[in-house]
Structure 1
Amino acid sequence: MPTEPSTPRPNRPADQPADQPTHPPTPQPARRDLLRTGLATGAATALGLAAATGRADAAPADGPAAAPGATPPDRTLTLTGHLPTGSPDFVYLPVEVPEGVREIAVSYGYDKPPVPAGTPGNSCDIGIFDERGTDLGGPGFRGWSGGFRTEFSLSRAAATPGYLPGPVNPGTWHVVLGPYQVAPQGLEYHVEVTLRFGAPGPRFTPQYPAERARGRGRAWYRGDCHLHTVHSDGRRKPEEVAAGARAAGLDFIVSTDHNTSSSHAAWGPLAGPDLLILPGEEITTRNGHWLALGLEPGQFVDWRYRSRDEEFPRFVRQVHRSGGLVVPAHPYCPYVACQWKFGYEQADGVEVWNGPWTYDDESAVDTWDGRLAVALREGRSWLPALGNSDAHSEPQAIGSPHNVVLAEDLTRDAVLDGLRAGRSWLAESSAVTLDLTVTGHGRRAGIGEELTVPADAPLDVRLTVSGVPGGTVRLLTDEGQMHQESLPAGGSGTVIWRTTASLAAYVRAEVRHPKADGTPGRGNSMGPDLPWGPMAALTNPIVLRTEAG
């Protein structure tokens, strides 16, 4: 979808996304159910309508002709067709838009025939491209709602959330269907496109958020980098998300609606001296989801590709040129199309903790830790860990978990720099505080930093924690867990452990809640449940290096 912007900031059209819904959102399943049932989409296959569908019937339903000089009546076009199993990831339905159209309204539906247990049923997403075309990364994108809405509209002045207000120019537009899953019987679709004529209306004025809030200088700032609103598959309005972030004690958030930039224009009045809001997007492909954090306001990132298409690097470059970060999201999420298949070589971090702690988070942390050890052994840069709520609606808690980032100030660039460098730790809530340092040979380093000392110089690892009653502290290195200690019932304590750079390439900390049975948990468990209780806090590493000679 996106063109590849370069720094400094690109010029942006004034006609950009709307911030108020024109249709109420339909009821929504839980967050992880959404990942399973069809919001993600993937690889672009530019096939014509006839080749893609096998059958397409277009039936216009025009009203009586307008008198000379009068506004023409609404015109409705009905598109139907059949998609067999094995259809392309995207099917483009052309719609000819004449002069004088002020609004395009679309509604759709599809059949859901019964299928045997364990067999995927029909699930089909929808979006639209304007007369500028459907090219991957091109300028024609005008909106996407996945499977969350059955109807939408857009005009010069406003649009349904997920869609971009702007000129309704004459030419060939395309409604795009994303047959996310197709039953063995195939999928019958029915799309109605209504063209409403009249004066174009006022130009939409986006209200983008500022890139700076009132900070505390160099300090630790808390922020959730994965949040959804009514602009994709969330049920919270942007103002509700902003209020929830303030209530959670956050200093910043990143807006990451699926496959659209439409919410960017809504955040301006909702940010403030106490809350920095960064535009972003969750790019949901058929081979995994990734977060584009800190995008240019209004910038859109395309999602219509698979790993085998080798298009992912192109969009990584786009995000990097704007100064943003690329972060694979919930890489071990067990639902269709969520597992990460693009590799980590071009990523700036990885989301190892997504919402309430689960088995897939445990797997993500284990894999991240293994890659960390290999990267340091091979002299390569290591990948920072992030944790985010991925909150969509009540009762999913905004800020649980979130990132605590050491930044020079509360600005877009400073926060992104802190995340990129790994000067951050992950907390389940603002009630948890933590400080991890390593000192020795007259030197000191903190989270995300390096300490270079003689190989056998004694090093004191000091971890101070509060807010985790009865929790278990784990100190881990490239050899695994090296120290475990319980916190008192009050939840606060300090743990000190000694090592050397010859024995540890890095040290990081985890703070766990007690297990459900009240025990602290132990490693190497062969039992059916997790060996540890839920995560309360997790740090990025302090890297230990030995002096040459």
Structure 2
Amino acid sequence: MIDFTCSVVMEEENQASIAFPFEWKEGNHKKLMIQVELEEKVWLQYQLVDANQEVRAQYVGGKTIQPVVVGETTKSTSPNTVPGPMPSGEWTLHVQVMGREVTQKQVATILLRNTDENAKADFGETWIDETGEFVLNQYQWEQVKEETARWYKGDFHTHTIASDGQMTREDNVNQAEKQGLDFFVATDHNLVPTSWTPSPDLLVIPGIEITAKKGHFNILGVQQYPYVDQDVASMETEEGIVDILKKTKETGGLNSMNHPFLTEWKWLFTKTPLALIDTFEVWNDPTYSDNVQATEEALRTWDLLTNDGWTITGIGGSDSHLRPDETYPGSTLPSLIGDPGTYVWSDENSANALLRNVKQGHVFVARENVRIDFQVDGHLPGSSLSDPSGDAQVTLQTNEPLIIQWVENGEVVHETIGKNDSYSFQWKTNSYSWLRVTVRKQDGTLIGFTNPVYYGRRNPSLHTWGDVLERLD
């Protein structure tokens, strides 16, 4: 019988990482219940590791329904937990907590209790295998929701009540369907989703937002627990964040640097190798006032990286936290999932196909349901051209004339107002050049952008994020 209380005391300056070991005996009690009771306003998260050193539960302080229940079957266990055998031996509850002006205070109590209650809860389809290992190999990466070659609209940055969002998983699915999305990536803070609400047409791709004090990045298509040696606290160090980025590359996900210039959430890990970054979140929630300047800075930096020879895909993310009837201070527009929309050209709507085409740069980003059909002699954004000369065309699906800016090698070389335009180029043979399009309203407000087409290659001179920041200075 387990009835165990963990007292969480903030001993270091405004942060703590504490391990609470306890003994679990396999037997009649099939479930473990965990309840967090906060005594101070802090950010608290935990990971439950079983006797086989497998992560069985994750929690981030938010509005997650408590108690969190870990059991043997999918229908008896909570979201973000792993059902399966409950092996005897030493289990450990790893707790991380951050807060302000709470040093040397008890900030929370966590209660652990076992139970053999027969209550069931339907938490949706599981994304794990029957052995209880923290591997998402039951998720159907090849499952096709639609087998049509077209632009698929999605969102690469979303949140729920499992971390600090206001919507449930069901709300996210419902709102995404209302917004006309074909897919989105589930990216709650520091949580690998182990289940989700099913939808017949909408594709939900497992992801996670690694959330450290010096920056946030998404793993798109996370396939296993990302923290090396289960050490969550290591993400606060330069070396630890690089280890996580490397692990993602080894296991098939995409690393996406989030809102790199957004106020207190900008990316400050200067040793980050650019070779480990697959996508760059150029555009984060346009309804958040600070993102207007941060997005323009991200656009300029993305162009700088492209000029340097990097082919990092530019994407967008709503970073959806609010309900559809809520707004941020100073905004008259609601913050909605799918705003901005990131459109991916793919021959089918499956996780593997979408992520593969994102990596290849077959992407444009736009608001207000504007569509940007940009191509060069039939080549899509992200393509490498074999000819240094060509004719580019862009056609907008829009209700009003918009400013079309042609960006060649980082400079706006031509600009027009309308719903379509063309541009001819003649680049030097054996040189490196590229071309993309930015679309704005006539008052200059950003509406969308495409990824570039490229000709030739350039060996980059910038190798780390610190190099980028120095170049920007």
Q: Once the 2 structures are TM-superposed, how far is the Cα of residue 399 of structure 1 from its aligned partner?
A: 1.0
Cα distance, 1:308–1:400 mapped onto 2, change above 3 Å: same
Shift of 1:333: 2.2
Cross-structure match for 2:470: none
Cα distance change of structure 1 residues 387 and 203 upon mapping to structure 2, 3 Å threshold: closer
Question: Which 10-residue stretch deviates more, 218-227 or 86-95?
Answer: 86-95
Q: CA deviation at 1:397?
A: 0.9
1:292 is aligned to 2:223: no
Contact 1:107 1:150 in 2 (8 A): no
Mapping 1:375-386, distance limit 5 Å:
375=309, 381-386=310-315
Instruction: Describe the SS at the equivalent of 2:355.
Output: helix
Gaps of 5+ in 2: 128-138, 325-334, 458-473
TM superposition score normalised by structure 2? 0.78
| CA separation of 1:309 and 1:451: change in aligned 2, threshold 3 A | closer
Question: Is 1:130 the equivalent of 2:59?
Answer: no
Identity %: 23
Distance (Å, rounded) in 2 between the aligned partners of 1:190 and 1:220: 47
2:177 matches 1:246: yes
**Greater mean alpha carbon deviation, residues 211-220 or residues 221-230:** 211-220
- Asked whether 1:369 is paired with 2:288, we answer no
Corresponding residue SS for 2:177: helix
SS of 1:399's equivalent in the other structure is: coil
Alpha-carbon distance in structure 2 between the residues aligned to 1:104 and 1:217 = 45
Per the alignment, in what secondary structure is the counterpart of residue 304 of structure 1? helix
Residue 221, structure 1, aligned to residue 146, structure 2: no
CA distance in 1, matches of 2:292, 2:233: 29
Structure 2 equivalent of residue 80 of structure 1: 7
1:92 — aligned with what?
A: 19
Contact 2:284 2:319 in 1 (8 A): yes
- Give 1:331's aligned residue: 260
Residue 390 of structure 1: CA displacement?
1.6
Aligned partner of 1:512 in structure 2 is 440
Do 1:453 and 1:545's aligned partners in 2 also have CA atoms closer than 8 Å? Answer: no
Retained in 2: the 8 A contact 1:225–1:388? Answer: yes
SS in 1 for 2:294: helix
- Count residues with an aligned counterpart: 418
2:448 alignment counterpart: 537
Instruction: Indicate how the Cα distance of structure 1 residues 194 and 414 shifts in structure 2: closer, same or farther if over 3 A, else same.
Output: closer
Matched residue, 1:45? none
Partner of 2:469: none
Partner of 1:34 in structure 2? Answer: none
Q: Residue 367 of structure 1: CA displacement?
A: 0.9
Report the AA paired with residue 306 of structure 2: L
Q: Against the structure 1 CA distance between its residues 81 and 154, is the aligned structure 2 distance closer, same or farther, given a 3 Å change threshold?
A: closer
Deviations 1:29-79 (A, max 9, x none): xxxxxxxxxxxxxxxxxxxxxxxxxxxxxxxxxxxxxxxxxxx6xx64444
Q: Is the CA contact 2:15–2:98 (under 8 Å) kept in the aligned structure 1?
A: no
Q: Secondary structure at the match of 2:304?
A: helix
User: Quick one: which amino acid aligns to residue 319 of structure 1?
Assistant: T
Cα drift, residue 421 of structure 1: 0.5
What RMSD in Å do the two structures reach over aligned CA positions?
Answer: 3.1
Alpha-carbon contact 2:80-2:195 (below 8 Å) kept: no
* Equivalent residue, structure 2, for 1:316: 245
Matches within 5 A, 1:155-234: 155-156=70-71, 157=73, 158-183=76-101, 185-198=103-116, 206-208=125-127, 210=140, 211-234=142-165
Residue 511 of structure 1 contacts residue 537 of structure 1 at CA under 8 Å; is this kept in 2? yes
Residue 460 and residue 349 in structure 1: after superposition, are their counterparts in 2 closer, same or farther (change >3 A)?
A: same
Instruction: Give the conservation status (yes or no) of the 8 Å contact 1:474–1:484.
Output: yes
Higher Cα Rg, which structure: 1
Whether the 8 Å contact between 2:57 and 2:70 is mirrored in structure 1 is no
Structure 1 unaligned segments of length 5 or more: list them.
Answer: 1-71, 113-122, 376-380, 488-492, 516-531
Task: Give the secondary-structure state (helix, strand or coil) at the position aligned to 1:301.
Answer: coil
Q: Does 1:406 align with 2:406?
A: no
Once the two structures are TM-superposed, the CA of residue 506 in structure 1 deviates from its matched residue by 1.0
CA–CA separation in structure 1 for the residues paired with 2:225 and 2:216: 15
Contact 1:425 1:539 in 2 (8 A): yes
Q: 1:154 aligns with which of 69, 80, 105?
A: 69
CA-CA distance at 1:354 after TM superposition: 1.1
